[in-house]
Amino acid sequence: MPSHKAVVTASVGLHARPAADFVRAVMDTGLPVVIAKDGSPGVDARSLLQVMTADFQHGCTVELTVGETALDGPGSAENAAGVLQFLGDLLAAQGALQPAARH
């Protein structure tokens, strides 16, 4: 089962816009990605409601996975690994994409 670990860098965690951007990217892949943090069961990363209610806070490490049953053909595992890397990079970049806080 392909998997990838990433850190949530958005200051609000996976809530509001960062969650919507992440879920949209997952939907664009066409793969049934699951996102989980240590000690919690995974949730469907294609569901904005599930992602937001799972409370993935700023700085938490998450694991992204795609089940073997979703893969067909010998190149699919490599494709899924690349997709998970891309999604992990998106999570890591979200903190840098946010505007600076105003004082």
State the catalytic residues: 15
Query: What is the C-alpha separation between 1 and 5, in angstroms, rounded?
Result: 13
| Contact (Cβ atoms closer than 8 angstroms) between residue 18 and residue 94 | yes
| Contact (Cβ atoms closer than 8 angstroms) between residue 2 and residue 65 | yes
| Contact (Cβ atoms closer than 8 angstroms) between residue 84 and residue 4 | yes
